Structure 1
Protein backbone atom coordinates (compact mmCIF):
# COMPACT_ATOMS: atom_id res chain seq x y z
CA UNK A 1 0.00 0.00 0.00
CA UNK A 2 1.26 3.48 -0.88
CA UNK A 3 2.07 5.86 1.96
CA UNK A 4 -0.44 8.76 1.66
CA UNK A 5 1.83 11.10 3.62
CA UNK A 6 4.67 10.51 1.16
CA UNK A 7 2.36 11.16 -1.79
CA UNK A 8 1.17 14.37 -0.12
CA UNK A 9 4.77 15.53 0.31
CA UNK A 10 5.53 14.80 -3.33
CA UNK A 11 2.39 16.68 -4.40
CA UNK A 12 3.34 19.77 -2.36
CA UNK A 13 6.93 19.67 -3.59
CA UNK A 14 5.82 19.40 -7.22
CA UNK A 15 3.40 22.30 -6.66
CA UNK A 16 6.21 24.48 -5.23
CA UNK A 17 8.47 23.73 -8.20
CA UNK A 18 5.68 24.38 -10.69
CA UNK A 19 5.11 27.80 -9.08
CA UNK A 20 8.82 28.60 -9.40
CA UNK A 21 8.88 27.50 -13.05
CA UNK A 22 5.80 29.61 -13.84
CA UNK A 23 7.36 32.66 -12.19
CA UNK A 24 10.55 32.08 -14.19
CA UNK A 25 8.60 31.77 -17.45
CA UNK A 26 6.68 34.97 -16.73
CA UNK A 27 9.84 36.93 -16.01
CA UNK A 28 11.54 35.55 -19.13
CA UNK A 29 8.52 36.57 -21.22
CA UNK A 30 8.74 40.08 -19.76
CA UNK A 31 12.49 40.23 -20.41
CA UNK A 32 13.35 40.55 -16.70
CA UNK A 33 16.53 38.48 -16.93
CA UNK A 34 18.02 39.95 -13.72
CA UNK A 35 14.90 38.80 -11.86
CA UNK A 36 15.20 35.33 -13.46
CA UNK A 37 18.79 35.06 -12.17
CA UNK A 38 17.66 36.11 -8.68
CA UNK A 39 14.80 33.57 -8.63
CA UNK A 40 17.14 30.80 -9.79
CA UNK A 41 19.78 31.74 -7.19
CA UNK A 42 17.10 31.74 -4.47
CA UNK A 43 15.82 28.31 -5.57
CA UNK A 44 19.35 26.89 -5.59
CA UNK A 45 20.11 28.36 -2.15
CA UNK A 46 16.87 27.00 -0.71
CA UNK A 47 17.48 23.54 -2.17
CA UNK A 48 21.03 23.46 -0.78
CA UNK A 49 19.83 24.30 2.73
CA UNK A 50 17.01 21.75 2.51
CA UNK A 51 19.54 19.12 1.44
CA UNK A 52 21.82 19.97 4.38
CA UNK A 53 18.88 19.81 6.77
CA UNK A 54 17.90 16.40 5.43
CA UNK A 55 21.38 15.05 6.16
CA UNK A 56 21.53 16.09 9.86
CA UNK A 57 19.75 12.95 11.17
CA UNK A 58 16.88 14.92 12.74
CA UNK A 59 13.91 13.51 10.78
CA UNK A 60 11.07 15.01 12.83
CA UNK A 61 12.66 18.45 12.87
CA UNK A 62 13.48 18.24 9.16
CA UNK A 63 9.96 17.16 8.21
CA UNK A 64 8.48 19.91 10.39
CA UNK A 65 10.63 22.63 8.82
CA UNK A 66 10.44 21.38 5.24
CA UNK A 67 6.65 21.14 5.25
CA UNK A 68 5.84 24.14 7.47
CA UNK A 69 4.99 26.59 4.67
CA UNK A 70 2.66 24.06 3.05
CA UNK A 71 0.12 24.91 5.75
CA UNK A 72 -1.63 28.18 6.48
CA UNK A 73 0.32 30.45 8.86
CA UNK A 74 0.55 34.16 9.56
CA UNK A 75 4.28 34.18 8.81
CA UNK A 76 6.72 32.63 6.35
CA UNK A 77 9.45 30.31 7.61
CA UNK A 78 12.86 30.09 5.96
CA UNK A 79 15.74 27.80 6.90
CA UNK A 80 19.49 27.94 6.69
CA UNK A 81 21.89 25.18 7.67
CA UNK A 82 25.53 26.11 8.19
CA UNK A 83 27.09 22.65 7.84
CA UNK A 84 26.32 19.35 6.22
CA UNK A 85 26.66 15.69 7.08
CA UNK A 86 26.80 16.28 10.82
CA UNK A 87 24.90 13.87 13.05
CA UNK A 88 22.60 15.97 15.23
CA UNK A 89 20.37 13.12 16.41
CA UNK A 90 20.96 13.94 20.09
CA UNK A 91 19.46 17.41 19.44
CA UNK A 92 16.30 16.14 17.74
CA UNK A 93 13.99 16.21 20.77
CA UNK A 94 15.07 19.68 21.91
CA UNK A 95 14.95 21.24 18.46
CA UNK A 96 11.58 19.77 17.57
CA UNK A 97 10.08 20.77 20.92
CA UNK A 98 11.31 24.36 20.66
CA UNK A 99 10.40 24.84 17.01
CA UNK A 100 6.95 23.28 17.18
CA UNK A 101 5.93 25.10 20.36
CA UNK A 102 7.44 28.45 19.33
CA UNK A 103 5.83 28.48 15.88
CA UNK A 104 2.49 27.59 17.44
CA UNK A 105 2.71 30.52 19.88
CA UNK A 106 4.05 32.83 17.19
CA UNK A 107 1.13 32.01 14.90
CA UNK A 108 -1.25 33.09 17.68
CA UNK A 109 0.76 36.24 18.44
CA UNK A 110 1.64 37.92 15.14
CA UNK A 111 -0.42 40.58 13.41
CA UNK A 112 -2.18 38.88 10.50
CA UNK A 113 -1.57 40.28 7.04
CA UNK A 114 1.80 41.83 7.87
CA UNK A 115 5.18 40.84 6.42
CA UNK A 116 6.10 38.39 9.16
CA UNK A 117 9.20 36.24 8.58
CA UNK A 118 10.87 33.57 10.69
CA UNK A 119 14.41 32.48 9.88
CA UNK A 120 15.64 29.29 11.55
CA UNK A 121 19.38 28.84 11.22
CA UNK A 122 20.92 25.55 12.29
CA UNK A 123 24.56 25.95 13.23
CA UNK A 124 25.71 22.33 12.98
CA UNK A 125 29.28 22.44 14.15
CA UNK A 126 30.97 20.92 17.21
CA UNK A 127 28.17 22.09 19.52
CA UNK A 128 25.11 22.46 17.28
CA UNK A 129 22.46 25.06 18.12
CA UNK A 130 19.48 26.86 16.62
CA UNK A 131 19.34 30.57 15.96
CA UNK A 132 15.77 31.80 15.64
CA UNK A 133 15.12 35.22 14.15
CA UNK A 134 11.58 36.57 13.80
CA UNK A 135 11.01 39.84 11.98
CA UNK A 136 7.53 41.26 11.81
CA UNK A 137 4.76 42.57 14.02
CA UNK A 138 3.47 40.97 17.20
CA UNK A 139 -0.01 41.57 18.54
CA UNK A 140 -0.01 39.36 21.64
CA UNK A 141 3.39 39.88 23.21
CA UNK A 142 2.37 38.27 26.53
CA UNK A 143 2.07 34.86 24.81
CA UNK A 144 5.64 35.16 23.57
CA UNK A 145 6.87 36.46 26.94
CA UNK A 146 5.32 33.42 28.66
CA UNK A 147 6.84 31.06 26.11
CA UNK A 148 10.28 32.64 26.50
CA UNK A 149 10.05 32.37 30.29
CA UNK A 150 9.11 28.70 30.03
CA UNK A 151 12.03 27.80 27.78
CA UNK A 152 14.68 30.19 29.08
CA UNK A 153 16.20 27.49 31.27
CA UNK A 154 14.11 24.37 31.59
CA UNK A 155 14.29 20.73 30.62
CA UNK A 156 16.66 19.51 27.94
CA UNK A 157 16.56 22.85 26.12
CA UNK A 158 17.22 26.43 27.03
CA UNK A 159 17.37 29.83 25.38
CA UNK A 160 19.99 32.53 25.58
CA UNK A 161 21.05 35.75 23.87
CA UNK A 162 17.43 36.89 23.67
CA UNK A 163 17.01 40.18 21.82
CA UNK A 164 13.53 41.58 21.51
CA UNK A 165 12.20 44.88 20.24
CA UNK A 166 9.13 46.13 18.35
CA UNK A 167 10.00 44.45 15.05
CA UNK A 168 12.36 41.59 15.90
CA UNK A 169 12.79 38.65 18.26
CA UNK A 170 16.09 36.82 18.12
CA UNK A 171 17.35 34.02 20.36
CA UNK A 172 19.60 30.99 20.45
CA UNK A 173 18.30 27.56 21.46
CA UNK A 174 20.74 25.14 23.06
CA UNK A 175 20.67 21.67 24.58
CA UNK A 176 21.33 21.24 28.29
CA UNK A 177 24.17 18.82 28.91
Structure 2
Protein backbone atom coordinates (compact mmCIF):
# COMPACT_ATOMS: atom_id res chain seq x y z
CA UNK A 1 0.00 0.00 0.00
CA UNK A 2 2.80 2.46 0.95
CA UNK A 3 4.63 1.72 -2.31
CA UNK A 4 1.46 2.42 -4.30
CA UNK A 5 0.92 5.73 -2.51
CA UNK A 6 4.57 6.71 -3.04
CA UNK A 7 4.35 5.79 -6.73
CA UNK A 8 1.19 7.85 -7.16
CA UNK A 9 2.82 10.84 -5.43
CA UNK A 10 5.84 10.59 -7.73
CA UNK A 11 3.62 10.39 -10.79
CA UNK A 12 1.62 13.39 -9.60
CA UNK A 13 4.79 15.48 -9.20
CA UNK A 14 6.04 14.34 -12.60
CA UNK A 15 2.75 15.20 -14.31
CA UNK A 16 2.71 18.62 -12.66
CA UNK A 17 6.30 19.28 -13.76
CA UNK A 18 5.56 18.24 -17.35
CA UNK A 19 2.41 20.37 -17.48
CA UNK A 20 4.44 23.40 -16.39
CA UNK A 21 7.01 22.75 -19.09
CA UNK A 22 4.38 22.27 -21.78
CA UNK A 23 2.69 25.51 -20.74
CA UNK A 24 6.00 27.38 -21.09
CA UNK A 25 6.48 25.97 -24.60
CA UNK A 26 2.86 26.67 -25.56
CA UNK A 27 3.06 30.23 -24.21
CA UNK A 28 6.20 30.95 -26.20
CA UNK A 29 4.63 29.55 -29.37
CA UNK A 30 1.50 31.65 -28.82
CA UNK A 31 3.71 34.72 -28.46
CA UNK A 32 5.49 33.73 -31.70
CA UNK A 33 8.70 33.29 -29.73
CA UNK A 34 9.66 30.13 -31.59
CA UNK A 35 13.38 30.39 -30.81
CA UNK A 36 12.66 30.48 -27.06
CA UNK A 37 10.25 27.51 -27.39
CA UNK A 38 12.97 25.55 -29.24
CA UNK A 39 15.48 26.45 -26.52
CA UNK A 40 13.12 25.19 -23.79
CA UNK A 41 12.65 21.93 -25.72
CA UNK A 42 16.44 21.51 -26.04
CA UNK A 43 16.85 22.13 -22.29
CA UNK A 44 14.22 19.46 -21.58
CA UNK A 45 15.99 16.97 -23.88
CA UNK A 46 19.31 17.54 -22.07
CA UNK A 47 17.64 17.18 -18.67
CA UNK A 48 15.80 13.99 -19.65
CA UNK A 49 19.05 12.46 -20.94
CA UNK A 50 20.73 13.31 -17.62
CA UNK A 51 17.81 11.75 -15.71
CA UNK A 52 18.09 8.58 -17.80
CA UNK A 53 21.84 8.42 -17.19
CA UNK A 54 21.36 8.92 -13.43
CA UNK A 55 18.65 6.25 -13.36
CA UNK A 56 20.97 3.72 -14.99
CA UNK A 57 23.94 4.39 -12.67
CA UNK A 58 23.13 1.31 -10.59
CA UNK A 59 22.31 3.15 -7.36
CA UNK A 60 18.49 3.26 -7.22
CA UNK A 61 18.01 4.74 -3.75
CA UNK A 62 20.45 7.56 -4.43
CA UNK A 63 19.04 8.17 -7.92
CA UNK A 64 15.44 8.38 -6.67
CA UNK A 65 16.44 10.81 -3.91
CA UNK A 66 18.32 13.10 -6.30
CA UNK A 67 15.66 12.96 -9.04
CA UNK A 68 12.93 13.96 -6.57
CA UNK A 69 14.88 16.25 -4.19
CA UNK A 70 13.74 19.53 -5.73
CA UNK A 71 10.09 18.42 -5.70
CA UNK A 72 10.00 18.39 -1.91
CA UNK A 73 12.61 20.97 -1.10
CA UNK A 74 12.33 24.09 0.92
CA UNK A 75 12.80 27.34 -0.94
CA UNK A 76 16.32 27.62 0.42
CA UNK A 77 18.38 25.21 -1.68
CA UNK A 78 17.99 23.98 -5.24
CA UNK A 79 20.16 21.01 -6.28
CA UNK A 80 21.26 20.56 -9.88
CA UNK A 81 23.36 17.72 -11.21
CA UNK A 82 25.25 16.60 -14.27
CA UNK A 83 26.80 13.26 -15.14
CA UNK A 84 30.08 13.89 -16.94
CA UNK A 85 30.36 10.38 -18.34
CA UNK A 86 28.31 7.22 -18.65
CA UNK A 87 28.85 4.22 -16.48
CA UNK A 88 27.53 2.04 -13.75
CA UNK A 89 28.72 1.61 -10.23
CA UNK A 90 28.16 -1.39 -7.98
CA UNK A 91 24.79 -1.33 -6.25
CA UNK A 92 26.60 -2.02 -2.95
CA UNK A 93 27.68 1.63 -3.02
CA UNK A 94 24.08 2.90 -3.12
CA UNK A 95 23.50 3.27 0.62
CA UNK A 96 26.90 4.87 1.29
CA UNK A 97 26.58 7.43 -1.50
CA UNK A 98 22.95 8.16 -0.65
CA UNK A 99 23.48 8.62 3.09
CA UNK A 100 26.61 10.76 2.78
CA UNK A 101 25.23 13.03 0.04
CA UNK A 102 21.90 13.43 1.82
CA UNK A 103 23.68 14.42 5.06
CA UNK A 104 25.84 16.96 3.20
CA UNK A 105 22.89 18.49 1.35
CA UNK A 106 20.84 18.62 4.57
CA UNK A 107 23.66 20.45 6.38
CA UNK A 108 24.14 22.90 3.51
CA UNK A 109 20.39 23.51 3.31
CA UNK A 110 20.29 24.34 7.03
CA UNK A 111 23.28 26.65 6.60
CA UNK A 112 21.97 28.80 3.72
CA UNK A 113 19.96 32.01 4.30
CA UNK A 114 16.19 31.57 4.59
CA UNK A 115 14.92 34.23 2.24
CA UNK A 116 16.81 33.35 -0.93
CA UNK A 117 17.20 30.51 -3.38
CA UNK A 118 20.68 29.01 -3.38
CA UNK A 119 22.05 26.45 -5.81
CA UNK A 120 24.28 23.47 -5.22
CA UNK A 121 25.69 21.69 -8.25
CA UNK A 122 26.70 18.04 -8.17
CA UNK A 123 28.93 16.74 -10.96
CA UNK A 124 29.44 12.98 -11.25
CA UNK A 125 32.28 11.09 -12.85
CA UNK A 126 32.21 7.28 -12.84
CA UNK A 127 35.46 5.29 -13.06
CA UNK A 128 34.45 1.75 -14.06
CA UNK A 129 37.98 0.35 -13.71
CA UNK A 130 38.41 1.55 -10.12
CA UNK A 131 34.75 0.95 -9.12
CA UNK A 132 34.61 4.53 -7.95
CA UNK A 133 32.57 7.63 -8.39
CA UNK A 134 33.66 11.21 -7.92
CA UNK A 135 31.06 13.74 -6.86
CA UNK A 136 32.14 17.34 -7.21
CA UNK A 137 30.01 19.67 -5.11
CA UNK A 138 29.99 23.32 -6.17
CA UNK A 139 28.25 26.08 -4.27
CA UNK A 140 28.29 29.73 -5.22
CA UNK A 141 25.74 31.81 -3.42
CA UNK A 142 24.77 33.69 -0.33
CA UNK A 143 26.96 33.23 2.76
CA UNK A 144 26.60 29.96 4.63
CA UNK A 145 26.24 30.17 8.41
CA UNK A 146 29.29 27.87 8.78
CA UNK A 147 32.45 27.19 6.81
CA UNK A 148 31.93 24.28 4.37
CA UNK A 149 34.78 22.27 5.93
CA UNK A 150 33.00 22.52 9.29
CA UNK A 151 29.74 21.32 7.73
CA UNK A 152 31.42 18.20 6.33
CA UNK A 153 34.03 17.51 9.01
CA UNK A 154 32.06 15.07 11.14
CA UNK A 155 30.42 13.06 8.36
CA UNK A 156 33.16 10.54 7.67
CA UNK A 157 32.81 8.88 4.30
CA UNK A 158 34.77 9.59 1.16
CA UNK A 159 38.10 11.26 0.67
CA UNK A 160 37.56 15.00 0.19
CA UNK A 161 39.73 17.28 -1.91
CA UNK A 162 38.99 20.99 -1.43
CA UNK A 163 39.61 23.23 -4.43
CA UNK A 164 37.89 26.40 -3.19
CA UNK A 165 36.44 27.09 0.22
CA UNK A 166 34.67 30.10 1.68
CA UNK A 167 31.25 30.81 3.13
CA UNK A 168 30.03 32.10 -0.26
CA UNK A 169 31.56 29.50 -2.55
CA UNK A 170 33.19 26.13 -2.41
CA UNK A 171 34.27 23.30 -4.65
CA UNK A 172 35.02 19.94 -3.11
CA UNK A 173 35.57 16.58 -4.79
CA UNK A 174 34.37 13.50 -2.90
CA UNK A 175 35.71 10.16 -4.13
CA UNK A 176 33.81 7.01 -3.24
CA UNK A 177 35.43 3.63 -3.86
CA UNK A 178 34.08 0.11 -3.46
CA UNK A 179 36.65 -0.55 -0.74
CA UNK A 180 34.81 1.93 1.53
CA UNK A 181 31.98 -0.59 1.81
CA UNK A 182 33.96 -3.02 4.00
- TM superposition score category, shorter chain reference: 0.7 to 0.9
State the TM-score, normalizing by the size of structure 2: 0.85
Relative distance call for 1:9 and 1:174 in structure 2 (3 A) is same
| 1:124 paired residue among 98, 123, 126 | 126
| 2:140 paired residue among 135, 142, 154 | 135
Structure 1 SS opposite 2:115: coil
Q: Which moved more, 1:31-40 or 1:66-75?
A: 31-40
Structure 1 SS opposite 2:154: helix
Q: Which moved more, 1:72-81 or 1:85-94?
A: 85-94
Q: Is the 8 A contact 1:110 1:116 kept in 2?
A: yes
Q: Is the 8 A contact 1:82 1:121 kept in 2?
A: yes
Q: What is the CA RMSD across the aligned residues, in angstroms?
A: 2.0
1:96-111 alignment to 2 at 5 Å? 96-111=98-113
State the TM-score, normalizing by the size of structure 1: 0.87
Counterpart for residue 165 of structure 1:
166
Residue correspondences, number: 173
Structure 2 SS opposite 1:161: strand
Any stretches of 5+ residues in structure 1 without a counterpart? none
2:29 matches 1:28: yes
Relative distance call for 1:88 and 1:122 in structure 2 (3 A) is farther
Q: Is the 8 A contact 2:144 2:168 kept in 1?
A: no
Distance 2:170 2:25 in 1: 33
Distance 1:165 1:38 in 2: 34
Structure 2 SS opposite 1:111: coil
Counterpart for residue 69 of structure 2:
68
| 1:150 paired residue among 117, 137, 154 | 154
Distance 1:48 1:124 in 2: 16
Q: Is the 8 A contact 2:158 2:174 kept in 1?
A: yes
The Cα of 1:103 is off from its aligned counterpart by: 1.2
Distance 1:91 1:162 in 2: 25
